[in-house]
Structure 1
Amino acid sequence: MPINSSKRRERQILAAEGYLALNMPDHALRELGHIEDVGDERYNVSMLHGEALLMKGEMQPALDDFREAHKEKPTELNALMRMAWCYKRVDQLPKAIDAMKLAYQFHKDVPVVLYNLACYYSLAGEKFEALSWLGRAFRMDRELLKLVPRETDFDPLRNDLDFQHLMALTSSQK
């Protein structure tokens, strides 16, 4: 008995997910490339394809896939965050900020959205925006403090007295 196309597609998507979990992006891309009709799985296929390309370091094509996924599900946080991540790495920081601002519109209660906005504003040299978003992120989730020492996005602010004051103030309020 032949497998219907939706079952075959489901198996191919699961196989691609497995290959990605094993850090085998070429195998995942090959599996995704064999899907004849993505049907109602366009978002998932685009996200998986983008993730595979990210593993290969192919930022611009990955960004294209994440934008395609975003078209399918405009409020989906994962697509917006991946778009922003790629925009940053292809030197389109204003678009990374725009993607995170859009994510914030739909996900105001997710601390990492605010944290990422702080990161991107820091890189853009927008100190007061960065500190404002970072302070708000800390108020939502103090665990984010643990990320800051290793976060290179805050390097432009490390020696800034206002940044240091925010870090000291927030650390003392545990």
Structure 2
Amino acid sequence: MVILPASRPKRYLNAAEGYLILEMPEQALRELSRITAADRDSEKYYRLLGQAQQLATHYQEALDAYQHAYDKDSENLTTLMGMAWCFKRTDQLSAAISIMEEAYQHHADEPVVLYNLSCYFTLAGDKVKAISWLGRSLRMEPGLIKLIHDEPDFDSLRSDKDFRFVVESAENKTSQNT
């Protein structure tokens, strides 16, 4: 079987995507490095590169790649969430919040966006916004309650009565529905 040159970049992108699903960033980066410079100028290439760098904990490199992906498609949820994740880990919390607010403008129906906004506002010390976003996310997707107990972003709110009320209300509602 002869593989046409035009199909090789797609094959490498698909392989990289598979390695990312398996959480194997070094293998994904290897596949992406096989793509020639002339074939790298795509949103998918940069998004996958960002994801691989993020998984490899190279957050600044991931941000650089995500920025290129964002320039090509500013509404892609994977790119926006990856950028926010990396901004948080490079001590740029206000940028993480801004990107997640932008994600909300395009993806208001995605509970994980609201949940992440709650996490970031908690870290920023904005209890009112944190609890508001958390309550909204749990109303949209009660299953998110499973994440809260192990989420270190909420550690500063764990003893707060308003936070406990929102969490306990969601837990009660979830247990009534099962």
State the Cα distance separating 1:136 from its structure 2 match. Answer: 0.7
Range with greater deviation from structure 2 (50-59 or 121-130):
50-59
For 1:80 and 1:22, the matched residues in 2 are separated by: 21
Are 1:76 and 2:76 an aligned pair?
A: yes
Displacement after TM superposition at 1:162 (Å): 1.1
Gaps of 5+ in 2: none
Question: C-alpha separation between the residues in 2 aligned to 1:23 and 1:130?
Answer: 30
Distance 1:66 1:173, change over 3 A: same
Tell me how far 1:173 sits from its aligned partner: 2.7
Shift of 1:57: 1.4
Quote the offset at 1:145 in angstroms.
1.0
Q: Which residue number in structure 1 is paired with residue 39 of structure 2? A: 38
Alignment map for 1:12-51 (pairs within 5 Å): 12-36=12-36, 37-38=38-39, 42-51=42-51
Residue by residue over 1:42-94, the C-alpha shift from the partner in whole angstroms, topping out at 9 and shown as x without a partner, is 11111111122122211110111112111111111110000001111111000
Matches within 5 A, 1:1-174: 3-36=3-36, 37-38=38-39, 42-174=42-174
User: Alignment identity in percent?
Assistant: 46
TM-score under structure 2 normalisation? Answer: 0.89
1:16-60 alpha-carbon deviations (Å, 9 max, x no partner): 233434544333223212212326x61111111112212221111
Q: Which has the higher mean CA deviation after the structures are superposed, 14-23 or 26-35?
A: 14-23
TM-score, normalized by length of structure 1? 0.91
**Cα gap change, 1:169/1:20 in structure 2, threshold over 3 Å: closer, same or farther?**
closer
Q: 1:146 to 1:19 in 2, by over 3 A?
A: closer
User: How far apart, in 2, do the equivalents of 1:95 and 1:74 lie?
Assistant: 15
Distance 1:24 1:132 in 2: 36
Deviates more, 1:43-52 or 1:111-120: 43-52
Structure 1 unmatched runs, 5+: none
